[in-house]
Structure 1
Amino acid sequence: MTTTSPVGPTRPVRLWEDGFALDPYGYYAALRAQGPVGWAELAPGVPAYVVTERRAALELLRDTGTFSHDPRPWESTVAEDSPVLGMMRWRPNSLFSDGAAHVRYRASLIDAFERIEPHDLRARVHRAVHVLVSRIGPRGQADLVGEFARPLMALVFNSLFGLPDSQSERLDRALGKMMEGGSQATEGEAEFGGYVLELIAAKAESRGDDLPSWLLDHPAGLSPEEVTWQVFLTLGAGHEPTANLVSNALSRILGTSVYYSTLTSGARPVMDAVVEVLHHETPLANYGIHYARSPVTFHGAWIRPAIPVVVSYGALAHFAEQEVVSGRHPKDASHLSWSAGPHACPVKQHTLLIATEAIERLTLWLPDLEPVVPRPELTWRPGPFHRSLTSLPVRFSPRSPDQPGDPS
């Protein structure tokens, strides 16, 4: 399908095609060729402006007067079965709100997460790694995406939200369908919504020492419905990008033997690999979605209301990496994986702790991980929003976490 473009070629760059997962950088180059703001499709017939230049992205993310996070004017133009609606539909939470409502929702989330002590979060990660290594260790082979990174996040976040381990697979499956934006996206959104509704109903009936209970009792006075949508946001935003961060970092570490040996020897911290991914292979590739409040010219593009304006964190990272190689960009330049402005990620320290502890603990249990597939041959999940491996197969010396000499 073709749509009229206000910024360049008639045919939009189709971020929903299978080719995007195979080679996103070719698609980013096509967008960048149109200027700082390109014309794309997030799904068939769903056009969007995509920002691929850092200065324009920062201006967009900080300009709350010109741009809004409220998608409802756009939402009314989209078919109810659109595969991207689950990721973009309006809900009364901090992501889709502006002004006082955004401040209220965001403050409640920050306050709730600040109650999680680092040592407690570290212990939850260690426990989750132990559970997973108990499953895969004796086999001597595993898929570090499907059998480690994704179930690890489900275990950790279920623990934080007061749910048992037995619910982890259900959470992982629903979020995976919704994030990919394919034919199962609507089903995944419904499954995830049901999951969260059941959780909040249980916590409204009987509180626990967990995030939903803290939100329900927060001085901001959030209603059960508002808490439901804060949890919907934080579970989704916490699980998927963090799982991708872990698996993308592991693929980089294991893809270079020298890199891996410096990490396992302690000569190089795991944080280096995590930060490298945030700089150059960010797990949430295209999001930070805004909508113009009225027609406006923005960095050479005529932006119309009710059409999403997407920040391509993946494109920003890719072109920044090119500039580092060419010497035109300082190596310590900050990345935008956490976004910027009033909607910047409020819990990045928690995310970094989960990712680094997970990788450190895994490599402590299984110090001789060896990739089965060369990194250039790894495959990536479809979808316009994320950069997410399909699998990361490895082999290693079989090990049981209960054998003598276990890490403490």
Structure 2
Amino acid sequence: MTTHPPAQQSFSLTVPVRLWEDGFAHDPHRYYAALRAQGPVGWGELAPGVPAYVVTDRAAALDLLQDTETFSHDPRPWETTVADDSPVLGMMRWRPNALFADDGEHIRYRRSLIDVFDRVEPHDLRARVHRAVRLLVGRFGPRGEADLVGDFARPLMALVFNNLFGLPDSQGDRLERGLAKMMEGGAQAAEGEAEFGAYVLELIAAKSERRGDDLPSWLLDHPAGLTAEEVTWQIFLTFGAGHEPTANLVANALSRILGNAEYYSTLTSGARPVTDAVLEVLHHETPLANYGVHFARSAVSFHGAWIRAAVPIVVSYGALGHFAEQAATGGRHPRDASHLSWSAGPHACPVRQHTLLIATEAIERLTQWLPDLEPVVPRDSLDWRPGPFHRSLTALPVRFTPRSPDQPGESS
């Protein structure tokens, strides 16, 4: 059992750092510094009246993520302590899927997800991404201007996931709206959760009636024998964990690339791989900034803090990346895997290679078709969406020479 008894901190008199404030989206590093000043485990607030322990130290994060005896992923004891209309419930309420399960149940759900995603060959996924990029560039390319969040990163993921899940392109806008509301954890969070839930329920009902060559059908027929309800919640998890963070990864990487003209030229010339830019975001501006929610099975001393049961413990991947960037790297190459954006331990992301492929292929193909992308707004003036969980741009406006992917000589 993880225990660090010296210098326990109860947080009884500590004012929580409010990660739900608008100021957090604008300047998260100031909030991370306030949390870090409290020690490896800080005292924060995910929504008004919803406190949480926030881990900002790498060693403490690894201990938390790897200790399945002391900590659980099951939020049901906590749920009884929060209001039914709490804006963070959409991201944190219990569902029978791999994210909120422990032990054997978790292994069963996780194994089924790994197995069905293993059926998606890299060349097939690459082709799906290329198709989506081509479709989107066909929409905004002739205009000579675009918002790479609203016109590219977010609809790209809706197109790719709908394609993998056997849904038509026309359903993409509906998927985006529900997920965005739920992820931000604001006043519309419950509405977004309901919209997204209805979307998934309709999908599973259709696939239960008639199978296809797609992920939901493969899950329904998996040897693990998942019920239709269990499949519904694995798909709910896959959509949520795959769409929003990957769209934000693409947008955040593009903002870093375009914000540095010299860096951009090395990527478009092929002197430096796009993967480097994507991994830099995972290190220092990770799209899922605060998550990895755990709960102590009973009160426990942990890295100098006294942790109560039924109170969320959140890993601040954003803080970990920020303080790692400030520290001396000792010559660390940006392609190493020392970041924790994929989490760690038994609940580490099971499809990280799929995510990396989608992000890198999307950026590479976009910059091949539109090699003279130019940001309209300086990077330090961009706006970020509110919410305690993500690091997500509201928009990334660019201009470029108008062109279409169907022009002679263009990439195909």
Classify the secondary structure of the residue corresponding to 1:195.
helix
Find the counterpart in structure 2 of residue 143 from structure 1: 147
* 1:71 and 1:88 in contact (8 A); partners too: yes
Aligned counterpart for 1:357 among listed residues 334, 344, 361? 361
- After TM superposition, give the deviation of residue 329 of structure 1 in Å: 7.9
Work out whether 1:373 is the aligned partner of 2:377. yes
**For residues 235-314 of structure 1, what are the structure 2 equivalents within 5 Å?**
235-314=239-318
* 1:372 and 1:393 in contact (8 A); partners too: yes
- After TM superposition, give the deviation of residue 10 of structure 1 in Å: 2.4
Q: Distance in 2 between matches of 1:236 and 1:333?
A: 24
- After TM superposition, give the deviation of residue 6 of structure 1 in Å: 2.1
Find the counterpart in structure 2 of residue 57 from structure 1: 61
Classify the secondary structure of the residue corresponding to 1:283.
coil
**For residues 210-249 of structure 1, what are the structure 2 equivalents within 5 Å?**
210-249=214-253
- After TM superposition, give the deviation of residue 250 of structure 1 in Å: 0.2
* 1:138 and 1:400 in contact (8 A); partners too: yes
Counterpart amino acid of 1:321?
Answer: E
Classify the secondary structure of the residue corresponding to 2:291.
strand
Find the counterpart in structure 1 of residue 14 from structure 2: 10
Question: Could you list the runs of 5+ residues in structure 1 that have no partner in the other structure?
Answer: none
Q: Distance in 1 between matches of 2:65 and 2:212?
A: 36
Aligned counterpart for 1:397 among listed residues 386, 398, 401? 401
Q: Distance in 2 between matches of 1:384 and 1:333?
A: 25
Q: Distance in 1 between matches of 2:396 and 2:95?
A: 34
Counterpart amino acid of 1:285?
Answer: A
**For residues 11-30 of structure 1, what are the structure 2 equivalents within 5 Å?**
11-30=15-34
Counterpart amino acid of 1:236?
Answer: G
Q: Distance in 2 between matches of 1:6 and 1:375?
A: 39
Q: Give a deviation string over 1:158-184, Cα, whole Å, max 9, x none.
A: 000110000000001100000000000
Find the counterpart in structure 1 of residue 4 from structure 2: none
Distance verdict in 2 for CA 1:213–1:151, change over 3 Å = same
Q: Distance in 1 between matches of 2:27 and 2:331?
A: 24
- After TM superposition, give the deviation of residue 8 of structure 1 in Å: 7.1
Q: Distance in 2 between matches of 1:257 and 1:375?
A: 12
Aligned counterpart for 1:387 among listed residues 368, 372, 391? 391
- After TM superposition, give the deviation of residue 9 of structure 1 in Å: 5.1
* 1:8 and 1:39 in contact (8 A); partners too: no
Find the counterpart in structure 1 of residue 340 from structure 2: 336
Find the counterpart in structure 1 of residue 3 from structure 2: none
Q: Distance in 1 between matches of 2:40 and 2:62?
A: 12
Classify the secondary structure of the residue corresponding to 1:56.
helix
Distance verdict in 2 for CA 1:333–1:241, change over 3 Å = closer
Work out whether 1:155 is the aligned partner of 2:162. no
* 1:137 and 1:398 in contact (8 A); partners too: yes
Counterpart amino acid of 1:159?
Answer: N
Aligned length: 403
Counterpart amino acid of 1:173?
Answer: R
Aligned counterpart for 1:37 among listed residues 26, 29, 41? 41
Larger displacement relative to structure 2 (397-406 or 368-377): 397-406
* 1:7 and 1:37 in contact (8 A); partners too: no
Counterpart amino acid of 2:97?
Answer: N
Distance verdict in 2 for CA 1:407–1:333, change over 3 Å = closer
Distance verdict in 2 for CA 1:123–1:330, change over 3 Å = closer
Find the counterpart in structure 2 of residue 190 from structure 1: 194
Q: Distance in 1 between matches of 2:96 and 2:155?
A: 28
- After TM superposition, give the deviation of residue 7 of structure 1 in Å: 3.2
Find the counterpart in structure 1 of residue 73 from structure 2: 69
**For residues 193-212 of structure 1, what are the structure 2 equivalents within 5 Å?**
193-212=197-216
Work out whether 1:174 is the aligned partner of 2:163. no
Q: Distance in 2 between matches of 1:250 and 1:57?
A: 28
Q: Give a deviation string over 1:193-226, Cα, whole Å, max 9, x none.
A: 0000000000000000000000000000000000
Classify the secondary structure of the residue corresponding to 2:51.
strand
Q: Distance in 2 between matches of 1:177 and 1:122?
A: 29
Q: Distance in 1 between matches of 2:331 and 2:219?
A: 46
Counterpart amino acid of 1:43?
Answer: A
Classify the secondary structure of the residue corresponding to 1:162.
coil
Classify the secondary structure of the residue corresponding to 1:402.
coil
Counterpart amino acid of 1:112?
Answer: V
Q: Give a deviation string over 1:266-322, Cα, whole Å, max 9, x none.
A: 000000000000000000000000000000000011100110000000000000000
Q: Distance in 2 between matches of 1:122 and 1:7?
A: 48
Q: Distance in 1 between matches of 2:356 and 2:350?
A: 12
Instruction: Give the TM-score of the pair, scaled to structure 1.
Output: 0.97
Find the counterpart in structure 1 of residue 50 from structure 2: 46
**Considering only aligned residues, what root-mean-square deviation do their CA atoms show, in Å?**
1.2
